[in-house]
Amino acid sequence: MYVPAHFAMTPEQVHTVLESGSAGDLVTVGPDGPVATYLPMLFDPHGGERGSLIGHVSLVNDQWRTPGEALFILHGPDDYIEAEWLNTPGSANVPTWNYVTVHVYGRLVVHDDPDWMLAAVRRLSAAHGNDSVGAMAAEEVGRLLRAIVGVELEITRVEGKAKMSQNKTPAAVGQVIDGLRASGGEATAEWMADHSLPRAQAKADLLAGIRDARTR
């Protein structure tokens, strides 16, 4: 993934996205080329040297038949950014798209052990605030497990990118935040208020300090 230095995420920001338990795109390469499935996967920090992502796919989804190198793409907040939100005196801008994404690379391992799959399903359900499997009869659980295949992505590398206007002036970042809140983009606005605005302000303060030092 192309990640300019000013859009690189910190390890803490990447970790937050990994722990979100949200769904993403599992991408592998099969005999006929790239294959992708959108599914939730749960981050397990103890699954190998760098952790792993665990989940499951349908038994009839042939993607599990091609284990090996794989990519999982997680999506954070994202929104369309109006050009006028970015404009400041003496500058003009075009519309753009702000987004947060994390690419997780690793080795995909398939699990057909019922105990492993049951534990993975229950952990994933619990991460989202329920344990519907626990309320099911044993026969129903067995039927469920026979219809799925467990998958685990053993992480080898993680890349994070946040293109969230943090390279703009504090005034422009503030305008984008206001525009997003007015148009319903609260998640992106909140991320920018927490991360982009402080970074833009720190950069502005640094540049102001350099200019002051040169004029002394």
Least confident segment among 3-12, 36-45, 133-142, 147-156? 133-142
Q: Given this model, what pLDDT does residue 180 score?
A: 98
Nearest to 5 by CA among 137, 177, 204, 162: 162
Q: Is the pLDDT reported for residue 78 higher than 90?
A: yes
Q: Lowest-pLDDT range, 7-11, 51-55, 67-71, 210-214? A: 210-214
The answer to whether the beta carbons of residues 75 and 22 sit under 8 Å apart is yes
Kindly state the tokens that stand for 56: 């499951």
Q: Is the pTM of this model over 0.85?
A: yes
Tens digits of per-residue pLDDT, 80-105?
999 999 987 777 789 999 999 999 99
Band of residue 140 on the pLDDT scale cut at 50, 70, 90: confident
Contact 51, 43 (CB under 8 A): yes
- Name the percent of the chain lying above pLDDT 70: 100
What is residue 115's predicted lDDT score, i.e. its pLDDT? 93
Residue 188: CB atoms within 10 A of its CB come to: 26
Q: Which two structure tokens, joined as six digits, stand for 58?
A: 């349908």
Q: How confident is the model at residue 58 (pLDDT cuts 50, 70, 90)?
A: very high
In this prediction, residue 87 carries a pLDDT of 86
Q: Is-contact 46 65, C-beta < 8 A?
A: no
Report the pLDDT averaged over residues 196-207. Answer: 90
Instruction: Report the C-alpha gap between 1 and 101 in whole angstroms.
Output: 10
The architecture of the domain spanning 5-165 is Roll (2.30)
- Domain ranges (residues) in the chain: 5-165
What is the 8-class DSSP label of residue 135? G
